[in-house]
Amino acid sequence: MISIETIQDKLSKAFPDANINIIINRGMYQCEIPANRNLEIISFLKNDLGFQFLTDITASHYPDEKGRELCIISHMHNLTENTRLRLRAYVPIEQPDTSSLVSIFSGADWMERETYDFFGINFIGHPNLVRILNVDEMDYFPMRKEYQMEDPTRLDKDDIMFGRE
């Protein structure tokens, strides 16, 4: 297991203005990174710190935090030293842009498509950013908090039956 001080030192030296602070959250290292520099930071983690496995990319929506509504959450894993790291990058909902990781991890292809499909995050540099799980004609991003779980065009059930009143 790499110690938290080693990672913190190396990251702070390589990216002094990114203001990265690593904490331990229930046994896993976690930090927040700026969304516009995610490709550089993750390349650095992959090449210099040995995090050669990208576990997952997903997102979450916090409608109450203005300017930081969407959060892109990446999990990385260093298999030789058995260290996991969670990276959170916040983007505003008007312009949810961040770089795509496809150039360094081929596996990020569908992970990013799924995140785009559900939350509308725009991964710059992705070769084929289209919907993957939902129908192609869908024009909204269903996992955002303002949309309901059920199909909005249902005629047979109304809000009372769905438990919302």
Partner 1 sequence: MVENESRHIKLAEDSIEKETTTINLGPTHPATHGIFQNIMEIDGERVMRTEMTVGYIHRAFEKIAERRPYYQITTLTDRMNYCSAPINNIGWQMTVEKLIGMEIPARVAYLRVIIMELARISDHLVCNSVIGVDAGALTPFTYVFQWREKIYDIYESICGARLTTNIGRIGGFERNFTDASWKFLDDFMKTFPPMMKEFETLLTRNRIFMDRCIGAGPISAERALNWGFTGPNLRAAGVDYDVRVMDPYSRYEEFDFKIPVGTTGDAYDRYLVRNIEMMESYSIIQQALDKLKGMDDSVFHADVPHFYLPEKADVYTKMEALIYHFKIVMGEVNLPVGEVYHAVEGGNGELGFYLESDGGRTPYRLHFRRPCFIYYQAFNELVAGGLLSDAIVTLSSLNVIAGELDA
Partner 2 sequence: MRPVKNNENRKITLAEIPEGYSGEGFMATKFDKVIGLARANSLWPLPFATSCCGIEFMATMGPNYDLARYGSERMAFTPRQCDMLLVAGTISKKLAPILKKVYLQMAEPRWVMAIGACASSGGIFDSYSVLQGIDQIIPVDVYVSGCAPRPEAILDGVLKMQDLVKNESLRRRHSPKYVALLNEYGIQ
- With beta carbons less than 8 A apart as the criterion, state whether 61 and 145 touch: yes
**Does residue number 165 form part of the binding site for partner 2 (CB under 8 A)?**
no
Q: What element of type H or E holds 110?
A: helix 108-119
**Does residue number 118 form part of the binding site for partner 1 (CB under 8 A)?**
yes
Q: Residue 47 has which token pair?
A: 């090449």
**Does residue number 130 form part of the binding site for partner 2 (CB under 8 A)?**
no
Instruction: Tell me the C-alpha distance between 62 and 144, whole Å.
Output: 9
What is the DSSP secondary structure assignment for residue 161, as one 8-state letter?
A: T
**Does residue number 91 form part of the binding site for partner 1 (CB under 8 A)?**
no
Three-point CA angle 36, 124, 144, nearest 5°: 85
Q: What element of type H or E holds 84?
A: strand 83-91
When binding is defined by CB under 8 A, the residue of 5, 95, 152, 164 that contacts partner 2 is 152
Shortest reach from residue 17's CB to partner 1, in Å: 26
Q: List 97's β-bridge partners, or say none.
A: 122
Pattern 16-45, partner 1, x by CB under 8 A: ---------xx-x-----------------
Q: Where do contacts with partner 1 occur on this chain (CB under 8 A)? A: 25-26, 28, 52-56, 58, 60-61, 73, 75, 79, 82, 84, 86, 105-111, 114, 118, 131-135, 142-143, 149
Q: Where do contacts with partner 2 occur on this chain (CB under 8 A)? A: 133-135, 142, 147-152, 154, 162
